[in-house]
Amino acid sequence: MTQSSNRKHASGESPAWAQEMTQILDAYKLAGGDPEALQLPKVATLVINTNHILAVHEIPGVVIHAEPLENGVRADITVEPNTKVEQPIHLCFGVVPADGVQDIIANYEIGENATAQFLAHCSFPNAVHVKHNMKAHIHVSKNASLTYTEEHFHGENGGVEVYPFSEVMVDEGGQFFSTFALTRGRIGLLSIDYQVYAAANAVVKMTTKAYGFADDKVKVNEVVHLDGEKARGLTLSRVAVREHAVSQIFTTMEGNAAGARGHMDCTEIVRGQAVAHNTPLVVVRNDQAQVTHEAAIGSVNQKELEALMAKGLDEDEAVDLIIRGMIR
Amino acid sequence: MERILRIQNLSLTREGRKILENVNLVLNSGQVHALLGINGSGKSSLAYSIMGCEGYSPDSGKIIYDGQELNKLSITERARLGITLAWQEPARFEGIPVGKYVGLGLKKPDRQKVINALKAVALPAKVYGYRSADKTLSGGERKRVELAAVYAMRPRLAILDEPDSGVDIISLDDISRLIRNLAEEGAAVLLITHRKDFVDTADVASLMCAGTVIFTGDPHETRLFFEKRCIPHVEALGTQPWNESLPEVQAAFASNGELRSSNK
C-alpha cells in the first residue's frame, strides 16, 4: 500500500494524546532528535510511547504499519522497490514513566534498488525501572541501501535495561550501514546482539559508540557473516568507561566466500576502576577470504594526550576531549 | 632581543642509554633558531625535554624559560607559559574537527583566528574546518593542521620538529612564511629541519651530534659543515653505535679550521 502524505494518530488529537505527545517529544529531544523534523510532510515518522502509537506518517514509497502489543508495539516498515527516500525516516521509541516494559518487534523491508535512511531515537528520560526489548528483522534487498542510525538516551538514574536484537539480511549488492550511539546520560544495562548476513558484493559497516560510568554495563555481541563472494564487512567499536562501569565487546567476522574482506576495529578507553573486555573472533572458511582486526584498549594514547596538553589543556580536559571525539 | 630560553648542561638517559649529554643552548625571542643533526643525534629528544613530555625529564641540568626553571612543570603548565611543540608526526584525533583543534590553544574562542591560521598553511577553512583531524588527512595535511594550531596559539616559544617533512613542495613557501611570521611577531622558534632553504632563512643554527650541541653560529656555515662533513663522515662510520662515533665526529669537527664550537 502506498499512500500520499498521511498522518495518523491512534488516539485522535485528544488532550491526553497531546500531553503524551509533548512528553515523548521532550524525551525525543533529549535523545538528540529534532521534534520539528517529525512534523515535516516529507518525513515518514513513527512515534511510540510504551505501547501507545502516537503518530504514524507515511510518504510515497514508504509504508508503515504499527499495532500495539500488550507491552509494546509491532512495527512493519516497507520501503518499496526503486524508492529513493530523500529525508531520513524518523522513529521515536520511548517510555516516559519511571517504570515500564517496552517490547518492540520491528520488521524493516528495503525493496530492490531502494535507498533509505532511518533515524531512530530511543528515550527513557525518567527511567527508574524500565526494560526495553527490541527485536528487529531487517531485509536489505538486492542493490538496496539502508543507513540505520540509532541514538539512545537513558536518563540520569541508570535504571534502564535495554536489549536490542537485530537480524539483518543483506542481499547481493546491498548496503547496510548502522550506527548505535549511547553517549549521553547513564547507560544502565545495554546488551546489543546483532547478526548480519551479507551476500555477494554486499557491504556492511556497523559502528557502536557508548560512554559508560558509575556502574553502567555495556555488552555488545556483533556477528557479521560474509557469506557471498566479495562481500565486505567493517565493525567499529568506540567505547569509553570510567568509575565502575564495565564493557564487554564480542565481535565476530566470518569470511565464508571467495574475495570476502572483513575488518574489526575496536577502541576502548578505560578510566578509574572501570573494566573493558574485548574479544574479536575471526573465522575464515574460504582460502580466498581475508579478515583482520585491531584493538586498542586501555588508557588514552599518550601522544594524543600530550599534543592536547601542549595546547594548554589540563589532563582531564584533554582526556574528556579525546573521549568525546571518539564517540562523536 | 630577549633571551627567552636557556638550556644548561642538560643530560637525559632513557632505558639505560644516554640520549642527551650536557646540552647547552640559548634561544632568543624574535629569532628562528635552526637545529641540525643526523637521525638519532638527539634533536627530537631535546624538543620533548623542553616541552616536558613523559619520559623526557632530564637527569641533570636546567631548562630556564623567561627566568623560570621549567624542569618540574607539566606540559600544560609550560604551554600556559607560552611554549608549544609541533610534533614531527602529529597525533590523529577521531571526531575532533580541524577547526576546533586549531583553536584549542586560544585563550577564548575566535573563529577568525582559526580561519586565518588555516589560511596561513594553505588549508581553506571551508574545506578543512569541519573535517576530523584523524587518519583521513594525509600526512602533509595533518602537519599543516598542526602548524596552524601552533600559529593560532601565538606562542612565545614554538618548537617545530621537522615541519617541512611530508609537506608538498607548493606549500613549503607557506610554511616558511609562517615560521618567519612567528618570529617577526616576537616568538622564539626552535626549528628542527634538514632543508637547506629553511636553514638558510634562520637567524642562527646549532648542530647536534651524539646527544650534544657541538656548534652554534651562522646558519649557512653550519649547514655546509653538516652537509660536507657530518653526513659523509657518519655514512663512513657505517653501523657503529652513535655514542662511539662522537669522538670521531668531534675530531672531524675540530679539524675544520673554519668553525669553532660556541655551544657554551
pLDDT 10s per residue in chain B (264 long)? 799 999 999 999 999 999 999 999 999 999 999 999 988 889 999 999 999 999 999 999 999 999 999 999 999 999 999 999 999 999 999 999 999 999 999 989 999 999 999 999 999 999 999 999 999 999 999 999 999 999 999 999 999 999 988 888 888 889 999 999 999 999 999 999 988 888 988 999 999 988 999 889 999 999 988 888 777 766 666 544 455 556 665 665 555 534 444 433
Whole-model pTM: value is: 0.84
- According to the model, what pLDDT value does residue A313 have? 97
B15, with CB counted inside 10 A (0-12, 13-18, 19+), is exposed
Q: How far is A236 from chain B (nearest CA, A)?
A: 12
What integer is the mean pLDDT of A92-115? 95
Any B CB within 8 A of A316 CB? no
Residue A328 to residue B94, Cβ atoms within 8 A: yes
pLDDT digit string, tens, across residues A199-219: 999 999 999 999 999 999 999
Residue A326 to residue B95, Cβ atoms within 8 A: yes
Residue A307 to residue B80, Cβ atoms within 8 A: no
Any B CB within 8 A of A314 CB? yes
Q: How far is B147 from chain A (nearest CA, A)?
A: 12
Element (H, E) at A239: strand A232-241
Residue B91 to residue A327, Cβ atoms within 8 A: no
- According to the model, what pLDDT value does residue B231 have? 72
In 3D space, the residue among A130, A223, A110 whose CA is nearest the CA of residue A174 turns out to be: A110
List the end-to-end C-alpha distance of chain A, in Å, as a whole number: 38
Residue A311 to residue B51, Cβ atoms within 8 A: no
Residue A322 to residue B93, Cβ atoms within 8 A: yes
Residue B149 to residue A302, Cβ atoms within 8 A: no
What span, in angstroms and rounded, lies between the C-alpha atoms of A45 and A64? 8
Task: Pick A104 or B247 by higher pLDDT.
Answer: A104
Q: How far is A184 from chain B (nearest CA, A)?
A: 16
Residues from chain B that touch A328, judged by Cβ atoms under 8 A, are: 94-96
Nearest to A312 among B51, B80, B96 (CB): B80
Q: Is the dihedral of CA B217, B223, B228, B233 positive or negative?
A: positive
Task: Pick A18 or B256 by higher pLDDT.
Answer: A18
Residue B91 to residue A301, Cβ atoms within 8 A: yes
- According to the model, what pLDDT value does residue B251 have? 62
| Percent of chain A surpassing pLDDT 70 | 96
Q: Which of A309, A313, A315, A327 to mutate to test the interface with B (most CBs of B within 10 A)?
A: A309
Residue B90 to residue A307, Cβ atoms within 8 A: yes
Cell match 518525513: residue?
A43
Q: Where are the alpha helices (DSSP H) in chain A?
A: 15-30, 302-309, 315-326
A306, with CB counted inside 10 A (0-12, 13-18, 19+), is buried
What span, in angstroms and rounded, lies between the C-alpha atoms of B107 and B86? 18
Q: Which CATH architecture best describes the domain B3-82+155-255?
A: 3-Layer(aba) Sandwich (3.40)
Residues from chain A that touch B75, judged by Cβ atoms under 8 A, are: 306, 309-310
Any B CB within 8 A of A253 CB? no
| Percent of chain A surpassing pLDDT 90 | 84
Residue A326 to residue B105, Cβ atoms within 8 A: no
CA distances from B25 to A84, A200, B34, B139, B193 (A): 66, 64, 12, 30, 17
- According to the model, what pLDDT value does residue B245 have? 57
pLDDT digit string, tens, across residues A273-288: 999 999 999 999 999 9
Task: Pick A39 or A232 by higher pLDDT.
Answer: A232
What span, in angstroms and rounded, lies between the C-alpha atoms of B12 and B25? 15
Q: Which three cell numbers stand for residue B134?
A: 584523524
Q: Is the model's pLDDT at A96 over the cut of 50? A: yes
Chain A nearest-CA residue for B107: A312
What span, in angstroms and rounded, lies between the C-alpha atoms of A2 and A240? 44
B-proximal residues of A, 219-238, CB under 8 Å: 238
CB atoms within 10 A of CB A141: 20
CA A306, A312, A313: angle at the middle one, nearest 5?
70
Residue B96 to residue A325, Cβ atoms within 8 A: yes
CA B24, B30, B32: angle at the middle one, nearest 5?
60
- According to the model, what pLDDT value does residue B263 have? 39
Nearest to B53 among A306, A313, A326 (CB): A306
Residues from chain B that touch A181, judged by Cβ atoms under 8 A, are: none
What span, in angstroms and rounded, lies between the C-alpha atoms of B3 and B7? 11
Residue B95 to residue A312, Cβ atoms within 8 A: no
